[in-house]
A and B are shown apart, each in its own frame.
Chain A
Amino acid sequence: MTHSLVSAATLLGLCACGMVGIGLYGLIVRPDALRKLLSFNILGSGVFLLFGVIGRRGAAAGLEGDPVPQAIVITGIVVAFSATALAATLLVKISDAENALPDAGREEDEA
């Protein structure tokens, strides 16, 4: 492993720390629920990236990175998507309830 590779990984590690901070800030400061969801995803991706950087530093045995964190991050990305889909659908439900859909009557007729 050359020195330049290490420092690029470290740089992206610092980037991940910044992502965590920005995501946390959006989560606290923005009152809009969709923005909180996006912020939470930014926070999460920062954590994933941090894990990835640690995996990259673990390059050994002829590999360019430790495969175990990579596999766990792939699982994490899919689980994060599932949670985001559930939360986003919940937002639609809340929005529909709060705004008493103009076409709610039409749906009632169909049923």
Chain B
Amino acid sequence: MSEPFALLLTVLVLLTAGWIVTVRERRAAVLGFIAYGLLLALVWIRLAAVDVALTEAAIGGGATGVLLLRVAARLGDLRPMSAQPGRMLKWLAGLVCAGVSLALMALVLALPDPAPSLAGAAMEPLARTGLGNPVTAVLLAYRALDTFLEIIVLLLALIGVWSLGPDRFWGGRPAAWYEGTPSSALTFLARVLPPFGIVIAGYLFWIGADEPGGKFQASTLLAAMWLLTMMAGLVAAPRTGSPALRGALAFGPLVFLVVGLAGIGWGEGFLAYPDRFAKPLILLIEAALAVSIVAALALMVAGPAERNTP
């Protein structure tokens, strides 16, 4: 794997991006976007960022793809947000955008050498956390506050999604995926895949401490398995008002907050872990966060409550 592979990826990514932007059919654009997400995952692998590649494939391609397919199927004719631009305006926009790209390219070619890096600073205290994967250490030890705020953003977005449903269905269930009976192939997959998905998610979760992987990738996989069973109609989407669901959503951030506040008691400050217990505490936070992330991701894709069936 060297430059020919990078060149091929570059061409494919840019062609797919161009296809998504120019193709006439909405559905074709969404399918293009899923392919685009998977291509990007390959690009991240080429950049030796396997953690990011897994996240991009799972969330960028998978979760966003399913969400957009559901939405594209529901959308009727939308009033255009702006007038169809004329030939002149298109050329002008093309020139401006090409200018932006070229300016960025000039910056990429002018990047300083040797590049500034925090790799050394990230590796140095790694032993104190008991972790082997520096990316996990950044996410949950050095920059734990970012991850904490991220889960809050996830919950805020979910509240936003829920609040877009009709008022009279607040606390009810998201709309069923299909009006009729789903195909037998889908039902079969929804019965066969989840056991494998759960095992792989458990592996990704556990290995994330030392190797590429972690709670996000594992949680997305679990959310996907849950959505699959919902799509096939094997389980109903949960009532958005159910206390168990609300509890699962709040569990992760609460555990994170309690451990974080305890850090002040240990004298180190908010979200600091005592050295001896760093790894168990990080695993505890990750496990709690995983519960909340699975629920938040799956329900964001499922959409707001639109029926009151008990």
A: which residues have CB within 8 A of B? 4-5, 7-26, 28-36, 38-39, 41-42, 45, 49-50, 52-68, 70-75, 77-86, 88-96, 98-99, 107, 110-111
List CB contacts (< 8 Å) of B122-174 with chain A: 122-124, 134-135, 137-139, 143, 146-147, 150, 153-154, 156-158, 160-161, 164, 166, 168-169
The answer to whether residues A18 and B59 also contact, given A12-B43, A78-B154, A85-B300 and a CB cut-off of 8 A, is no
Is B49 a contact of A33 with CB atoms below 8 Å? no
The answer to whether residues A52 and B72 also contact, given A60-B119, A68-B118 and a CB cut-off of 8 A, is no
Is A66 a contact of B21 with CB atoms below 8 Å? no
Interface: B2 (CB within 8 A)? yes
Rounded to whole angstroms, the CA-CA distance of A74 and B135 in the bound complex is 9
Closest to B43 in A: A12
Is A20 a contact of B101 with CB atoms below 8 Å? yes
Is B147 a contact of A75 with CB atoms below 8 Å? yes
Interface: B275 (CB within 8 A)? no
Rounded to whole angstroms, the CA-CA distance of A70 and B56 in the bound complex is 11
Rounded to whole angstroms, the CA-CA distance of A19 and B60 in the bound complex is 15
* Contact residues in B for A53 (Cβ distance below 8 Å): 47, 108
Pick the residue among B75, B104, B120, B156 that contacts A17 (CB under 8 A). Answer: B104
Pick the residue among B111, B164, B216, B304 that contacts A57 (CB under 8 A). Answer: B111
| Residue from B49, B67, B120, B166 with most neighbouring chain A CB atoms (10 Å) | B49
Say which size band chain B's interface belongs to: 35 or more
Kindly count the residue-residue contacts between A and B in the assembled complex, taking CB atoms under 8 Å apart. 292
- Return A105 CB to nearest CB of chain B, in Å: 13
User: 1/0 contact trace for B5-30 toward A, CB 8 Å?
Assistant: 11101100110011011100010011
Is A110 a contact of B307 with CB atoms below 8 Å? yes
Rounded to whole angstroms, the CA-CA distance of A82 and B149 in the bound complex is 13
* Contact residues in B for A65 (Cβ distance below 8 Å): 47-49, 119
Rounded to whole angstroms, the CA-CA distance of A11 and B9 in the bound complex is 10
Is A12 a contact of B47 with CB atoms below 8 Å? yes
Interface: B265 (CB within 8 A)? no
- Return B48 CB to nearest CB of chain A, in Å: 4
Pick the residue among A8, A73, A85, A95 that contacts B3 (CB under 8 A). Answer: A8
List CB contacts (< 8 Å) of B285-301 with chain A: 297, 300-301
Interface: B191 (CB within 8 A)? no
- Return A13 CB to nearest CB of chain B, in Å: 4
The answer to whether residues A89 and B303 also contact, given A21-B98, A34-B72, A70-B49 and a CB cut-off of 8 A, is yes
Pick the residue among B26, B93, B108, B297 that contacts A29 (CB under 8 A). Answer: B93
The answer to whether residues A22 and B59 also contact, given A33-B81, A35-B29, A56-B48 and a CB cut-off of 8 A, is no
Closest to A68 in B: B118
The answer to whether residues A56 and B117 also contact, given A21-B97, A32-B78 and a CB cut-off of 8 A, is no
The answer to whether residues A93 and B10 also contact, given A42-B36, A84-B67 and a CB cut-off of 8 A, is no
| Residue from B20, B85, B111, B116 with most neighbouring chain A CB atoms (10 Å) | B20
Is B77 a contact of A56 with CB atoms below 8 Å? no
Is B9 a contact of A12 with CB atoms below 8 Å? yes
Rounded to whole angstroms, the CA-CA distance of A34 and B29 in the bound complex is 9
| Residue from A67, A68, A93 with most neighbouring chain B CB atoms (10 Å) | A67
* Contact residues in B for A110 (Cβ distance below 8 Å): 307-308
The answer to whether residues A14 and B157 also contact, given A89-B304, A92-B75 and a CB cut-off of 8 A, is no
User: 1/0 contact trace for B51-63 toward A, CB 8 Å?
Assistant: 1100110011001
Rounded to whole angstroms, the CA-CA distance of A61 and B122 in the bound complex is 9
